[in-house]
Chain A
């Protein structure tokens, strides 16, 4: 499985590209291309990379939402990797169809897990993203069960799934499936995107969530 996962990194800081390259290499993820321009994800080796790690702030002031949208609409699996932890931007990226949103304060471990999950078409919810979802006050937010909310909050607060599992007296895989269900609920709202549709379809097939829950 090691060589199956390929990634392309779009970031305007060389040091970030180098760092991400190193982190991915330690996890046996092949970085096929990297650059400061989103073009690297569309041409050459980057065009065939399974996962796109996209920085939202590519030199300009405005976040690169349109780049994200183009990639997602084309069916690319995108992880947003950003300096900013602004809840509104985070939720907007999920709505567009990013499979994960990582802040640069979150370390190698979360990035590697997010890339691996994205390569398999799955979502990954790091703690900061969990916080943004838990604090979501928008009118369109999906209805979460009390347990799901509690998992989100505890994960945000502790950054340790083992800790969450112990606290709530559930297994690690239950913690993960709660997080997955939440993301599926979010994928089912708002704009259509191939990655979001796939998330929902797979969750229903796997029996993770029923149609009634959406």
Chain B
């Protein structure tokens, strides 16, 4: 139960209680005893407050505190209109009822409620003392029983509020823990899926080598190893924190090819532009594949214009050609001219 629910429920319950008290308990003594006309005015005022508060409750709007003035005025009117010496007697319909009204209006403002109740009780006692003739014992019982009941309701309301706050806090903490757990699981899953997806040719190759389905004596297997090596090296470079990640990945691939004895020249033009990781993957992949198969020489170039990022490779690599086509937003074009493979991946920045 939240704070808000506690407040709403309290007001609804109090509304019913006050309605019942006013109609069932307090109307008969008002009718039965000879009150002054001010008593009826007080009764009317209180009924009006009941209607107004009912309206606020229905609209789920907090009751304004200044409304408490009306029950206090009614208290004065009802008390002064009492028949002589009737304070705290069965004829005193207003004392208990005004207390309930104050509770109804000020239940969410404990300090104001206590202050208003005190004023109400003090005035009633003062009037009782002034008029005289009543029984002090009965008056004490009436004051104590009525007020303690109302204060009891206030205390229960406060306790409920505190419990609701604690419960809400615990629920929020639980939710946050669940979210964290879910995020961690998602991240791990992403990482795993990402690696599996990007490891590409590596896992089947390792499986084949382990099962002796592939032999390193075989030229095709060596080519697969070479492709896997470049892919793996690029993957390692992918998460490095560098100012120019795309160039960093290209350099990583070039490095692997150079270790294999290929003479690679890398030319870079234009200034670094931010390129999303997926796009970088797609941009580098064809170049990495051609480079893995390259013999002798290769030229890798990275060009960044105002509107495009273009990664190209021109290599002596007859064996495997990067597939032309479109992956996501990257367009790959591959052709062979005079024995040289040219493969270019382009991405429009705008």
Interface string of B312-340 (1 = CB under 8 A from A): 10100000000000000000000101101
Contact B337 A157 (CB under 8 A): no
**Is A163 among interface residues, defined by CB-CB distance under 8 A?**
yes
Asked whether A156 and B301 contact (CB < 8 A) given A131-B268, A131-B269, A163-B342, the answer is yes
Q: For A157, what are the chain B residues with a Cβ–Cβ distance below 8 Å? A: 267, 299, 301, 303, 310, 312, 314, 342, 344
Number of residues on chain B facing chain A (CB within 8 A): 21
Which of these, A127, A134, A160, A167, contacts B335 with CB under 8 Å? A167
Contact A167 B342 (CB under 8 A): yes
Smallest CB gap from A127: residue in B: B267
B271 to chain A, nearest CB (A): 7
Contact B303 A153 (CB under 8 A): yes
Q: For B312, what are the chain A residues with a Cβ–Cβ distance below 8 Å? A: 157-158
Q: For B301, what are the chain A residues with a Cβ–Cβ distance below 8 Å? A: 131, 156-157
From 237 to 283 in chain B, residues with beta carbon under 8 angstroms from any chain A beta carbon are 265, 267-271
B154 to chain A, nearest CB (A): 72
Contact A163 B337 (CB under 8 A): yes
Q: For A159, what are the chain B residues with a Cβ–Cβ distance below 8 Å? A: 265, 299, 314
Q: For A105, what are the chain B residues with a Cβ–Cβ distance below 8 Å? A: 265
**Is A30 among interface residues, defined by CB-CB distance under 8 A?**
no
B222 to chain A, nearest CB (A): 27
**Is A148 among interface residues, defined by CB-CB distance under 8 A?**
no
Smallest CB gap from B304: residue in A: A135
From 39 to 53 in chain A, residues with beta carbon under 8 angstroms from any chain B beta carbon are none
Q: For A167, what are the chain B residues with a Cβ–Cβ distance below 8 Å? A: 335, 337, 342
Smallest CB gap from A149: residue in B: B305
In the bound complex, how far is the Cα of B269 from the Cα of A134, in angstroms? 8
**Is A36 among interface residues, defined by CB-CB distance under 8 A?**
no
A172 to chain B, nearest CB (A): 13
Contact A85 B314 (CB under 8 A): no
B60 to chain A, nearest CB (A): 59
**Is A128 among interface residues, defined by CB-CB distance under 8 A?**
yes
Which of these, B265, B299, B303, B314, contacts A134 with CB under 8 Å? B303
Smallest CB gap from B311: residue in A: A157
**Is B32 among interface residues, defined by CB-CB distance under 8 A?**
no
Q: For A135, what are the chain B residues with a Cβ–Cβ distance below 8 Å? A: 269-271, 303-305
Q: For A85, what are the chain B residues with a Cβ–Cβ distance below 8 Å? A: 267-268
Asked whether A128 and B303 contact (CB < 8 A) given A153-B310, A163-B338, A167-B342, the answer is no
Interface string of B293-309 (1 = CB under 8 A from A): 00000010101111000
In the bound complex, how far is the Cα of B342 from the Cα of A157, in angstroms? 9
Q: For B270, what are the chain A residues with a Cβ–Cβ distance below 8 Å? A: 87, 131, 134-135, 137
Contact A137 B338 (CB under 8 A): no
In the bound complex, how far is the Cα of B337 from the Cα of A85, in angstroms? 28
Interface string of A128-156 (1 = CB under 8 A from B): 10011011010000000000000001001
Asked whether A134 and B305 contact (CB < 8 A) given A87-B271, A157-B299, the answer is yes
Which of these, A156, A158, A163, A166, contacts B269 with CB under 8 Å? A156
**Is A162 among interface residues, defined by CB-CB distance under 8 A?**
yes
Interface centre among A127, A128, A157, A162 (most CB of B within 10 A): A157
Smallest CB gap from B337: residue in A: A166
Smallest CB gap from A167: residue in B: B337
Q: For A127, what are the chain B residues with a Cβ–Cβ distance below 8 Å? A: 267
Q: For A158, what are the chain B residues with a Cβ–Cβ distance below 8 Å? A: 299, 312, 314, 340, 342
In the bound complex, how far is the Cα of B337 from the Cα of A158, in angstroms? 11
Smallest CB gap from B266: residue in A: A105
Q: Which 9 A-B pairs have the closest CB atoms?
A: A135-B270, A131-B269, A135-B269, A157-B312, A157-B301, A166-B337, A158-B314, A137-B306, A135-B305
Seen from chain A, the residues whose Cβ lies within 8 Å of a Cβ on chain B are 85, 87, 105, 127-128, 131-132, 134-135, 137, 153, 156-160, 162-163, 166-167
With A132-B269, A156-B269 already in contact, 19 other A-B pairs whose C-beta atoms are closer than 8 Å: A85-B267, A85-B268, A87-B269, A128-B267, A131-B269, A134-B269, A134-B303, A135-B270, A135-B271, A135-B304, A135-B305, A153-B310, A156-B303, A157-B267, A158-B312, A159-B299, A160-B314, A163-B314, A163-B337
